[in-house]
Amino acid sequence: MFQAIREINRNIGEEERVESTSPTREEEPEGVLFGKYEIGRFLGVGGFAKVYEAFDVVTKQSVAIKVVSKRRIAEARLTAQVQREIAIMHRLNHPNIVKLYEVLATKTKIYFVMECAHGGELYDRILNHGLFDEDHSRRCFQQLISAVQHCHSRGVFHRDLKLDNLLLDQDLNLKVSDFGLSATTDQIRPDGMLHTLCGTPAYLTPEMLAKKGYDGEKVDVWQCGVVLYVLTVGSLPFNESNVPTLLRRIYRGQVRIPRCVKPDLKRLIKRMLDPNPKTRISIDEILEDPWFRKGYREIKVQQKNPEWEDEDRTKSLNAFHLISFSSGLDMSGLLITDPEPEVSGSVERIVSKETPKSIVEMVESVADRDIVTVIRKQDGWGAKIEGHSGNFVILIGVYRLTDELVVIEVKKKEKDEESGAEFWEEKLRPRILELEYKPE
């Protein structure tokens, strides 16, 4: 039965169907990676990556390292998708979501250092050991809903929630993984909907198949309903080997729930697998459902560093930007940047522990209003310094690196005006260098 589930669990990608292929020999890590992680046993393969267990050579902490070929990502035109996945995982902080610790790279490979879930996939656990009892299934489902609620609160829609992407730790706590097909609120079109058809056929929703746009939250609810059905019944609610037949059944919402399922649980599953997204149950309503609430303990998620509470507009750097700052980790061939048409001159960057707000205020205080005009950015922390005659421009951006560190990026374009160089070298640059963070 469960083997049949995996037969139809291939993903439909953002632009096209992406088949799983085995990475080449060039992706085999050996020994101690970057002097930090001792490579251990092979854990698995999927898509464009191999996953290994590894150990921090200092703390001895066990981690999982996903090894990806930059060339293969570029050839498959998945660069933007990988970038988005990293940025999304940076947003999330929940005990039931796999943590991304850091991203490392060489000229040919990318290494994702993540939390290691020693219990493996939920799919394999059930396949090898059978269904959980009702209380344990409920506990897994509660953890799943809590994680999904956290994603939605951070503007993230997973869109590929399935047993293969749900991992277990050594205590059989659930961990949501694989955010490669996730979407964020900035991808919502003017009609208020997402439109990309992606995911796994057996977990697709009727509204996705209708191709008229869909609500990311309601898609995640439907997929959680499919997971709950499998946890309860032991098979997929829409289980056809013929994909067109499968999709027709999903579109019509033709689901049969066995009589042995308790009425309160059956009612919850039906509300989650409602083919009409407008009447489908919401996450908030699931949290109040009587079957769900039995033994439920709300999970307290650590909040942001209070220092940042007033600075949510600060643009976060994803790992591709961070890696590009280091000359030893060249990812320039893969990096997608937002070109700044106004400035094509030199670029300088430093790391600082100051807050974005204080940095921008310092820049404004240094600027000589008789020489330059300072314009604060509206879409994040930064400033544009422009000579009154327009002969020089200095753009300053402040980007979040961690809760404590930021990167100050300065882009300069000078023509013939000496006052621009004088202002930068004698006034502004020394003050910015005073803010540089120098670890001991």
Q: What are the residue ranges spanned by the domains of the chain? A: 2-115, 121-293, 338-434
Neighbours of 184 (CB within 10 A): 17
Q: Superfamily assignment of 2-115 in CATH? A: Phosphorylase Kinase; domain 1 (3.30.200.20)
Neighbours of 37 (CB within 10 A): 25
Tell me the catalytic residues: 160
Q: Each residue of 163-210: pLDDT tens digit?
A: 999 999 999 999 999 998 999 998 899 999 999 888 889 999 999 999
Given this model, what pLDDT does residue 136 score?
A: 94
Given this model, what pLDDT does residue 29 score?
A: 66
Counting Cβ atoms within 10 Å, is residue 435 exposed (0-12), middle (13-18) or buried (19+)? middle
Counting Cβ atoms within 10 Å, is residue 266 exposed (0-12), middle (13-18) or buried (19+)? middle
The phi and psi torsions of 238 (rounded to 5 degrees) equal -120, 100
Given this model, what pLDDT does residue 90 score?
A: 83
Q: Each residue of 298-338: pLDDT tens digit?
A: 887 765 443 333 444 444 444 444 444 443 333 333 322 33
CATH of 121-293, one of 1.10.510.10, 3.40.50.300, 3.40.190.10, 3.40.1390.10: 1.10.510.10
Contacts 24+ apart (CB under 8 A), 119-122: 119/167, 119/168, 119/169, 119/170, 119/171, 119/172, 120/167, 120/168, 121/163, 121/164, 121/166, 121/167, 121/168, 122/163, 122/166, 122/167, 122/168, 122/174
Given this model, what pLDDT does residue 335 score?
A: 29
CATH of 338-434, one of 3.30.310.80, 3.40.50.800, 3.40.50.150, 3.40.50.1000: 3.30.310.80
> Which whole-number Å values give the CA distances from 50 to 42, 105, 219, 435, in the listed order?
8, 15, 29, 40
Given this model, what pLDDT does residue 141 score?
A: 97
Helical axes 216-233 vs 134-153, angle rounded to 10°: 170
pLDDT averaged over 10-residue windows placed end to end, the chain, 440 residues: 48 41 50 87 82 92 91 78 83 93 83 92 89 94 97 95 94 93 90 90 93 95 97 91 89 90 96 96 97 90 48 46 41 32 60 86 74 59 72 79 77 63 82 80
Residue 69, helix vs strand vs coil: strand
Given this model, what pLDDT does residue 44 score?
A: 83
**What predicted TM-score, i.e. pTM, was given to this entire model?**
0.69
- What is the torsion angle, in degrees rounded to the nearest 10, for the CA atoms of residue 419, residue 420, residue 424 and residue 428? 80
